[in-house]
Every structure is written in C-alpha cells, then in structure tokens.
Amino acid sequence: GRLQHTLTGHTNKVTSAIFMDEQTLATCSWDRSIKFFDIESGFCNDRTIQCRTKVNDICCPTPFVLCSAHFDKTVRVYDLQTRTLIRELKAHSQEITSICVSPGSEYLLTNSKDGTLNLIDFRKMSAPVKTFRHDNYKNLRDGNTACFSWDGRYVAAGGGDTIFLWNTNSGKTEASFMCSSKYVSCVS
C-alpha cells in the first residue's frame, strides 16, 4: 500500500500508537500528551489529554477508558468522554516502559526499568496482584515492551539477549529463550 497520511501534532518523540476504533488512532508522546487522530482525514482532533509527565505507552481496556504508562512510575486511567484523569497508581520504583491489557480486559501488565513486570487488577487499581521477576531480566530501554499470551496464561518480555516467559497463575518463570540479537526490546 501507499502512505495515507503523515500525522503531525506532537512536539517530542511519539512513543506509542493504538487504534481506538475504525476511525480513530490514539498516540502518546514525551511531550506529555495523548492525541487522537481521525484516520480518514489524518487530522488531530481537539480531544487531546494533557499529562503530568512523559507518556511511554497507552492501552484501552474498555471503550470508555484509556490507560497510560508514565516516566514518573505511574499508571493513569482517563475517562475518554470527558478526557479527565479518574485514577492513578504508582506501580513501580522506576520508569514504566509499557502497559497492555489482558485478553479479558481484567488486568493491566506493566513493564518497568526496575526489572519487574506487575499484574494489576484493572477494576481495583490497587497494589499489584503479582510481580514477575527473574535475576537475569533487565529492562534497559525506553521502548521495552511486555505482553500477554492470547489466552492470558503467560506474560513475556525481552531483556538483554533473552526473552522471558512467566506463568500468570504461579508467577514463576516458565522459560527463557536466548536470541541471536544483542538486545530484545519488543515482544507481541
């Protein structure tokens, strides 16, 4: 295919983009904002969310809320109708580099430069339900991501030259896979 649009509007590094629906793309940036673009026209609409700190990643657990992972170690939840902050949780001791939602939209998974992944009950937004760690897991990059398996039974993240796989029920490391790459930063 050919390039449809070049989306402009952020004033710093764009760190993530997700499709909200068939008409809207949401983006987040180190300019401390979350913007919404009309896919058909390519224009940014006026529904921008201004944030307190750099935004590293976003996810959408329901059609009504958007969750964001921040440089200040915090997960924030915004009401999409009013564009207001409705909840926040300091989830890590260092910067959160990614956030994603479980297949059933019950849990959020955060990945942090503190070398841990946290499983957070989305409905309660309180202390993590589980923390995943491994002695050799290190999250050293800003764009380092983590993800759920399609059935939610596992979470995965890359750190260094290894991909780690944890069981969501037991919290234990199920496997680690050495890669030929010097650094694995994205899994999906």
Looking at the predicted structure, is the pLDDT value of residue 188 above 90?
A: no
CB 31 within 8 A of CB 70: no
d(CA 163, CA 169): 19
Cα dist. 5→40, 42, 59, 71, 117 in Å? 9, 6, 22, 29, 35
Residue 2 has a pLDDT of: 86
Note the pLDDT tens digit of each residue in 68-113: 999 999 999 999 999 999 999 999 999 999 999 999 999 999 999 9
Percent residues over pLDDT 70 in the chain = 95
Average pLDDT, whole number, for the chain? Answer: 92
Note the pLDDT tens digit of each residue in 36-46: 999 999 999 88
